[in-house]
Amino acid sequence: MNTQTLSAKNHHPSRQRLLLKMLLTEVLGVEPRQAEKDLEQISHQISSETTEKLARFLRFQNTFLREEASLPHGVTITS
């Protein structure tokens, strides 16, 4: 399995995009096609501070739900 890890040290734009996509599709239930359109608009506008807070929120959600299925495609989020 190809596992992607998102850590606080990784500030790559693709990390921001993946976190936003997870928020839109997994948390908010936005359809994937619409999420991609929205990502085009917002992924370039998000600050690194907001990205870190989003990562913390998604870690909390994953811990709270205790469901690895809440992280798509073998993604893990570490601090």
Q: Hey, what's the torsion of the CAs at 2, 71, 16, 26, to 10 degrees?
A: 140
Query: Shortest CA distance to 22 belongs to which of 56, 76, 65, 71?
Result: 71
Express each pLDDT in 27-79 by its tens digit: 899 999 999 999 999 988 888 899 899 999 988 887 766 555 556 666 666 65
Mean pLDDT value of segment 8-37: 85
Asked if 36 and 5 count as a contact pair (C-beta separation under 8 A), the reply is: no
What pLDDT is recorded for position 24?
A: 94
Global pTM value:
0.62
What pLDDT is recorded for position 25?
A: 94
Measured distance CA(30)–CA(41) in Å, rounded: 15
Domain residue extents for the chain: 4-77
